[in-house]
Every structure is written in C-alpha cells, then in structure tokens.
Amino acid sequence: MAIVSVQDVSKDYMLGKTVVPALRGVSLDVDRGEFLSIAGPSGSGKTTLLNLIGCVDTATQGTVLVGGKNTRLLSERTLTDLRLHTIGFIFQSFNLVQVLSVFQNVEFPLLLQGKATRKEREVRVMGLLEAVGIGEYRRHRPSELSGGQRQRVAVARALVTRPALVLADEPTANLDSETGATIIDLMKEMNHRDGTTFIFSTHDPKVMSHASAVIRIADGQLVAREQLNGAAPGGR
C-alpha cells in the first residue's frame, strides 16, 4: 500500500490579488521504501508538492493521503502530531536550532514526543550520530560545524523518531557536489537499512541518478515518472 497518495491535487497561491497556480491536477502514489526524487526547474512546484505531502500546507483542491489519512480532514493539532510521529524533514539550509548542541538538536523531536526515557534517547541519538559519522561532535554547536556536517545532523534529526517517511527539500543545494553526494549516499544507506521512504526534490541530474524513481514536474504539472533502480525492497 502507498504511504503517500496524492490525488488530482491543485494548489493556488495569492500574489497580491492575482491567483498563482503552483500545482495543477497532480496525482502520485509513493510506495513504502521508495527513494523518490522530484525533479524540475525552479518554480515548477517541487517545494509545494513536498509541503503538501509533509502536511505543512494544505491543497486548494484534491486529496493528499499520508499513511492512509486524508490531511484535509485533520486539525492543525493532529497534523502537527502526524508530522512529529510519521514524517522527518531535511531542509535545504539545514535549519538546526542554533542555541542547542548537536546532540540536543537530534534529541529535540524525541523530547517533543515525550515517550522515550533519557536512556533510550541517549542510545538512539548516539546510534544515529555514529551512523551519520559525527558522533565526536555531539557537544558542538551547529555554528561550529561545516555545511556537510550540519546536514548530517539534520539527517540524524529527521530519522531519530523512526518516521515512515522522510522529506528532503533540495538537501544538497547548499553543499558542494562532493559533499552533496555523500549526503545522498547517507540517505540512501538509511533507506536501505531501515526501509524508510525518502522523497527529495532536486534539480541536479547527478543527485537524481541515485533515486529509485524520478518524478518530473514542470509548470505545476506532473510530466513524467521514470522508474530507475535500487529501491529498498519491501518497505516497512
């Protein structure tokens, strides 16, 4: 069953008094365990689509189902809960909390969930920091790290709640291509290891090539879906 199901979705923005259509009649199913890339030029609607899937925005028309739930029917509060428990986010500009240490940034979603004990959190956070290769920087502040290191922290933060779905909006855009590649590798490794579904947007063909499938968007419309290689088997 699809973890994400987008059905005939349109999204309009208001720019002053003019209506700007960002998405027009997009339909898309994403299966569990996919490592899906959304490709398209700037302003094509990539971020809008991710926002709708990530429950941070709602569609003007059509339905978005995440984990089988119709996001249009959920309250703001429930949507926030859904994001907290089901979705992980990786941002183009990392978006770490500057006043918290690396460890605390990663721990933050667990504290919001309020379920794990201190010990469990310690184990889980450190496990992830080791996995993304920055265990030794646990006490550093984000400002003391390089861009690549920061994005690794962000990846760890996105995965710490063991979400079914991770959304990444241009995760490599602020990194040089080499570092960008290692981040994509890292994401793919996590995709393979846990079967977590990844959806990321990019306009970099090299990054795209790592995906199991590529969705191409232009002018707010889905123009193509290309099946590539190596999706995680079976999902979770």
Residue numbers of the site for other proteins (CB under 8 A)? 47, 50-51, 54, 56-57, 76-77, 80-81, 83-85, 88-89, 91-93, 95, 97-100, 104, 108-109, 111-118, 157-158, 161, 169-170, 173
Nearer to other proteins, 11 or 216 (CB): 11
Supply the minimum distance, in Å, between the C-beta of residue 180 and other proteins.
Answer: 15
Tokens of 34: 């996919």
Supply the minimum distance, in Å, between the C-beta of residue 82 and other proteins.
Answer: 9
Strand partners of residue 166: 88, 198
Nearer to other proteins, 164 or 231 (CB): 164
Q: Which residues contact 121 (CB under 8 A, 6 or more apart)?
A: 107, 110, 111
Nearer to other proteins, 116 or 228 (CB): 116
| In contact, 9 and 174? CB cutoff 8 Å | no
DSSP code of residue 54 = T
Supply the minimum distance, in Å, between the C-beta of residue 230 and other proteins.
Answer: 28
Nearer to other proteins, 111 or 123 (CB): 111
Q: Report DSSP letters for 57-105, one per residue.
A: S--SEEEEEETTEEGGGS-HHHHHHHHHHHEEEE-TT----TTS-HHHH
Supply the minimum distance, in Å, between the C-beta of residue 198 and other proteins.
Answer: 16
Nearer to other proteins, 96 or 186 (CB): 96
Give strand ranges (E) for 16-60.
18-31, 35-39
Supply the minimum distance, in Å, between the C-beta of residue 156 and other proteins.
Answer: 12
- Taking each helix axis from N to C end, the angle separating 102-113 and 118-131, rounded to the nearest 10 degrees, works out to 130
